[in-house]
Structure 1
Amino acid sequence: MPREYLISVDVETAGPVPSRFALLSIGACPIDRPELGFYVELMPEHEAVAPGALEITGLSMEQLAEDGEAPETAMREFAAWIAEVTPAGELPVFVGFNASFDWMFVADYFERFLGRNPFGHSALDIKAYFMGKTGSSWQETSMKHLSPRYLGGSRLSHNALGDARDQAALFRAILADTTAISDET
């Protein structure tokens, strides 16, 4: 079996689902080489904005309409970057913090604009991984609980590349944590 190459991915969006709200930015980095980052801002394909979404990201729909990459171009660039950073013979694996949210946008955009998803049909969720490793509850997987333990209390910036790098650091720390389930309870 080919080895797996873990890539941290974060997105910022205009709302909760890709059918009605635009993907605004994508940030990514290899878990083990966060300096090899990818970042792109996309031209919105939908005008709808969920309350509070833009305040969190600091992005502007008007500015992105002028300066953002067309979704097809952005996804082609992202796929090329994934191919470039993934070592020969290894499979890229999408890693996200609450991967179900980020994954649905990335998978939807790859399928619609490229007709293929370089990550295949699966994603690794950091929150679920932590829950399984420690026996914690779902609420205990929030950044409020994990950041003090693994990231010195830092908060996510809601810049997709910055958050992808923070997620990579978080996942590396969780992987290195040798605390057994029995030690957590």
Structure 2
Amino acid sequence: MARAELYVSADVEADGPVPGPFSMSSFGMAVAGVRDGDGFRAVDPGERTFYAELKPISDAYDPEALAVGGLDRELLVREGREPGEAMNAASQWIAGVAGELGATPVFVAYPLGYDWMWMYWYFMRFAAGGSPFGHSRCMDLKSLYAAKAGVRISEATKRSMPSHLLSDRPHTHNALDDAIEQGELFQNLMRWHPQE
């Protein structure tokens, strides 16, 4: 019998377009649901969460990118978590929740490409065990919506989605707030059957 899947909604704030030359400023993760032989079961995404603000890994940054998340770079330099410590703690948190629920973790984001790129790179660079999501256990909510709605990817924007799919929570650009908000979008998309 296939193992259940644990869906972890994740959001990243960063100070530039790509990891390595630039730094991940913060990330948030929220458990949004489990899927097993009985189907999908949503869980309150505010119940099991992880959040970290990180020290920069380089001197380069784009002020506009940094401003999106509203974090103070000098404060992150002084008080942010070391990337290795934060990524290992995140891996341990994921392993703990996955073990508790008896499920394999799957990374969920909208859009996936940006958040996955940062998280995967940081896990592979800084976490002792690499990525807890392997190299491909991830789900793009933009693609999920496009497939269910029968629209092109370029049309799969939050503005074009039916309002009942969207979370009532505000999009604050705090990585944990946005991971929780996105977790609710994920739950709504998983339960949505537009052709019925």
Give the alignment partner of residue 109 of structure 1, picking from 118, 122, 126: 122
1:48 aligns with 2:60: yes
Give the alignment partner of residue 33 of structure 1, picking from 16, 19, 44: 44
1:38-80 Cα distance to aligned partner (Å, 9 max, x none): 1000001022222411221101111100110000000011001
State the TM-score, normalized to the length of structure 1.
0.90
Distance 1:157 1:20 in 2: 26
The alpha carbon displacement at 1:146 in A equals 3.1
Amino acid at match of 2:27: I
Distance 2:50 2:169 in 1: 22
Asked whether the 8 Å contact 1:107–1:117 carries over to 2, the reply is yes
Asked whether the 8 Å contact 1:147–1:155 carries over to 2, the reply is no
- What's 1:8 paired with? 9
Give the alignment partner of residue 133 of structure 2, picking from 102, 119, 122: 119
Paired residue total: 181
Relative to structure 1, is the Cα distance of residues 51 and 147 closer, same or farther in structure 2, using a 3 angstrom cutoff? farther
1:135 aligns with 2:150: yes
Distance 1:144 1:153 in 2: 14
Asked whether the 8 Å contact 2:167–2:181 carries over to 1, the reply is no
Give unmatched runs, 5+ long, in structure 1. none
SS of residue paired to 2:55: coil
The alpha carbon displacement at 1:88 in A equals 5.2
Which has a greater percent of strand? 2
Which is further off, 5-14 or 83-92? Answer: 83-92
Relative to structure 1, is the Cα distance of residues 73 and 147 closer, same or farther in structure 2, using a 3 angstrom cutoff? farther
RMSD in angstroms over aligned alpha carbons? 1.8
- What's 2:188 paired with? 173
